[in-house]
Amino acid sequence: MDLFDKCNYELLNRSRELGVYPYFHELQSRQAPIVTMEGRRVIMLGSNNYLGLTEDDDVIEAGINALYKYGTGCSGSRFLNGTLDLHKELERELAEFMGKEDCMTCATGFQSNLAIISAIAGRNDYILNDKENHASIYDACRLSFATTLRYNHSDMEDLEKQLKRIPDTAGKLIVTDGVFSMRGDICKLPEICALAEKYGARVMVDDAHGFGVLGNGGRGTADYFGLTDKVDIIMLTFSKSLASIGGCMLTSHHVADWLRHVSRPFIFSASMTPASTATALTALRKLKAHPEMCDNLKNISAYFRKGLLDNGVRIIDAPTPIVPIFTYNSLDTFYYGKRLFEEGVYVNPVIAPACVEGECLLRSTLMATHTEPVVDEAVQIISNVLKQGIPETW
């Protein structure tokens, strides 16, 4: 068998034949509520730019100034020559804002999960992983020498069943998304923390989609439930609410210090670029100064969900800016995504393995900077396209 025989993706080949291939659309403008994409005016309902800060003048200026002061890159890892005063400043302010003792930044959110989980859970330890956790968590579990036990999505009975299987002498880490990235639902953190206490486990929350969205002033899922002290590790990404690129771990001093010296993905990767660090830091300060941005996001998201429901569009309803629209199978999802794009709305198609086959969906997301007239326009387009259905010739 030739190694490359596997490089034949029938679904994508078929979607190209049908003219509904949905990926790699080219943007010619900023990430904003309305963008220019492949020469079209398009309402952007597919960005994780939750607070709309990628086009904020102060955030942009901070990135430009950092480029001039520090250059384009750090040319090394944080462990050696790649630590800037900006990195330390960002870490201090994030730890203070999130109510944790310490913070360790990484160049991407994906790398952050690899750096944390692969180091903290070793041989003879166990990781308990929600089945709908992000792919980076799954890859981090593979990189770790720990045994991974998956539990059914937000099923606390199944989680306890898995915990009971683990020897008392083993280390245990429960890992969950705070806000699940495809469906937009929130983890059952109070129940998770109670089970962790009962069975002597530690808790890690990937709050990539909860930070800037939930909690007091956008402090995330743990704060939303009043459980910051009960969550041992919080992971954040900067590519969403902080309008940059990068990620971090928030935890105690001694855990962060240990990970800085043993985590291979952290030690052997180049540090965040100066511009990325400066923009994330400035966006964090904007969030601290303007917590009303989170209220704007919550309100416009609720307005969008109500508009869809009033027009008979079936969605998964949750108090987050992620609003999934059911389309069920893969090719139908591609077709609806293509039609919406042609009519002026961009959404993200979600198919297996990002969801269960038969439960495919269009993942729409809101920004705090969306306005009601723009949302009204988008709702009308979405409802019209879905009501037209799939043509008989399809």
Beta strands per DSSP E along 200-243:
202-206, 233-237
Q: Which of 87, 134, 240, 286 is catalytic?
A: 240
254 given a catalytic annotation? no
Phi and psi, residue 359, nearest 5°: -125, 35
Whether 22 contacts 349, CB under 8 Å: yes
Beta strands 102-106; 247-251: pairing state: antiparallel
**Active site annotation includes 181:** yes
Choosing from 100, 209, 338, 370, the catalytic residue is 209
Distance of CA 313 to the CA centre of its chain: 25
| Length of the chain counted residue by residue | 394
126-130 and 40-44 beta bridge pairing: unpaired
Within 10 Å of residue 173's Cβ, how many Cβ atoms?
24
Residues 6+ apart with CB under 8 A from 9: none
The closest alpha carbon to 291, from 241, 246, 244, 243, belongs to 241
Measured distance CA(296)–CA(300) in Å, rounded: 6
Say which of 15, 136, 154, 181 is annotated catalytic.
Answer: 181
Helix, strand or coil for residue 42? strand
Q: Is 137 helix (H, G, I), strand (E, B) or coil?
A: helix
Q: What is the distance between the alpha carbons of residues 63 and 245, in angstroms, rounded to a whole number?
A: 12
Active site residue 144: no
Name 292's Cβ contacts closer than 8 Å, sequence gap at least 6: none
Beta strands across the sheet bearing 345-346? 34-37, 40-44, 345-346
Q: Which amino acid is at 88?
A: K
Residues ≥6 apart with Cβ < 8 Å to 24: none
Q: Residue 77 is encoded by which pair of tokens?
A: 């890892």
Cβ within 8 Å of residue 189, ≥6 positions away: 176, 178, 205, 221, 222, 224, 225, 227, 231
Q: Are 226 and 205 in contact (CB under 8 A)?
A: no
Residues identified as active-site? 181, 209, 240
